[in-house]
């Protein structure tokens, strides 16, 4: 899908001189980038699929939760950033830009009006002490060019302490840590909670309790943690660096019998599992991506043992059963609570 905001940044990526960081999240997941890798540009991305794709094309990439601590103050000439969906991340990047840029260094930042770019530009202008030029390709698509002044002692934007994990919820089993940037970061998801409450409904369909479970799209790890036990090893996987960091922290804090693996929809994981659990995503950054359901269903089919089961939870209005029947011979809606439904998938089509 074409992204007009990224198109404004494209020439800047092609022309950037000096040490440049391109800060890229899932909004940059475009099939055709159309820019040859540049040796002076490092891609900083929190998505493993993007870093894998760009690394294959020859770009230098760092898969990180937008952690810039490895870059000294005043060490960067240019920063290029297509804004993220989450406000704390945008504020974090603008705050970090002041620290990272050399005096005279520039931040190029673009986005759409309905994503809040104009408000961000106003805020960034204050943070950069008044230094802002704007460009737009149409009335909805804006880019700001902010130049780092020699002295800059302006107020930090509120990034909700983006870098820090913190306890966000607890239940009878665990206290959970998370942070902005993770799906539903500050609560237990109602759908996932429903799945765990009804887990016995799925388990009774198996001949024996599973000794291994794959959590596809683990977020901060709620489903994985509640499936793990001394007799059940859980593999939790996600494509988002922030989610993986939170999940790993939760596993370590609570001594969970499991592992946390960065992967694009389980790509690179070759094992098959007696059980897969999943609360699948429907958004990729600002876009709703219908194909994501199919991609998750295909990954589940590949990773499920022939006599295993997958437990999915989705909103009632999602036609998961129809899509799933292309991949599984057995598709059964086993419960709903008026908002969410639990769908059992078995007999993967080979």
Ligand X SMILES: C[S@@+](CC[C@H](N)C(=O)[O-])C[C@H]1O[C@@H](n2cnc3c(N)ncnc32)[C@H](O)[C@@H]1O
CA–CA separation, 139 and 136 (whole Å): 7
Residue closer to ligand X by CB (options 121, 261) is 261
Least distance CB 224 / ligand X (angstroms): 7
Least distance CB 319 / ligand X (angstroms): 17
Least distance CB 144 / ligand X (angstroms): 28
**How long a stretch of residues is the chain?**
350
Q: Judging by beta carbons within 10 Å of its beta carbon (0-12, 13-18, 19+), is residue 118 exposed, middle or buried?
A: middle
Residue closer to ligand X by CB (options 108, 176) is 176
Residues 6+ apart with CB under 8 A from 3: 27, 28, 30, 82
CA 253 from chain center: how many Å? 22
Least distance CB 187 / ligand X (angstroms): 9
Residue closer to ligand X by CB (options 142, 162) is 162
CA–CA separation, 181 and 75 (whole Å): 26
CA distances from 341 to 208, 313, 337 (A): 24, 6, 7
Least distance CB 337 / ligand X (angstroms): 15
Residue closer to ligand X by CB (options 219, 258) is 219
CA–CA separation, 20 and 75 (whole Å): 10
Residue closer to ligand X by CB (options 152, 169) is 169
Relative to beta strand 76-82, strand 101-112 is: parallel
Q: Which helix (H) or strand (E) holds 77?
A: strand 76-82
Residue closer to ligand X by CB (options 152, 199) is 199
Least distance CB 240 / ligand X (angstroms): 4
Residue 292 and residue 285 in contact, taking contact as beta carbons nearer than 8 Å: no
Residue nearest to ligand X (CB): 217
Residues that bind ligand X (CB under 6 A): 49, 183-184, 189, 192, 217-219, 222-223, 238-240, 243, 264-265, 279, 281
């Amino acid at each position: 899908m074409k992204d007009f905001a990224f198109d404004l940044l494209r020439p800047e990526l092609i022309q950037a001189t000096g040490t440049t960081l391109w800060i890229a999240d899932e909004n940059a997941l475009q099939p055709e980038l159309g820019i040859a890798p540049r040796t002076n540009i490092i891609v900083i991305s929190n998505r493993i699929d993007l870093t894998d794709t760009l690394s294959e094309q020859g770009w230098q990439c760092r898969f990180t939760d937008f952690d810039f601590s490895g870059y000294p103050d005043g060490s960067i000439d240019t920063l290029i950033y297509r804004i993220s969906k989450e406000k704390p991340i945008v504020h974090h990047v603008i705050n970090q830009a002041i620290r990272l840029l050399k005096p005279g260094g520039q931040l190029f930042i673009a986005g759409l009006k309905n994503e809040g770019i104009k408000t961000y530009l106003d805020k960034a202008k204050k943070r950069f002490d008044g230094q802002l030029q704007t460009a737009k390709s149409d009335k909805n698509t804006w880019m700001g060019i902010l130049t780092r002044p020699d002295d800059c002692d302006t107020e930090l934007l509120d990034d909700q302490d983006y870098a820090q994990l913190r306890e966000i919820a607890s239940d009878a089993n665990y206290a959970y840590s998370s942070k902005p940037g993770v799906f539903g970061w500050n609560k237990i998801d109602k759908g996932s909670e429903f799945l765990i409450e009804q887990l016995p409904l799925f388990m009774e369909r198996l001949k024996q309790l599973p000794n291994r479970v794959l959590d596809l799209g683990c977020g901060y790890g709620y489903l994985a943690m509640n499936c793990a036990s001394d007799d059940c090893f859980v593999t939790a996987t996600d494509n988002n660096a922030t989610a993986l960091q939170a999940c790993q922290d939760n596993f370590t804090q609570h001594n969970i019998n499991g592992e946390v693996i960065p992967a694009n929809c389980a790509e690179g994981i070759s094992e098959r599992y007696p059980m897969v659990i999943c609360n699948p995503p429907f958004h990729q950054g600002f876009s709703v991506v219908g194909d994501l359901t199919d991609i998750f269903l295909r990954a589940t089919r590949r990773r499920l043992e022939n006599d295993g089961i997958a437990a999915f939870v989705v909103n009632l209005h999602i036609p998961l059963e129809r899509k799933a029947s292309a991949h599984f011979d057995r598709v059964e809606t086993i419960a709903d609570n008026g908002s969410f439904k639990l769908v059992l998938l078995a007999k993967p089509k080979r």
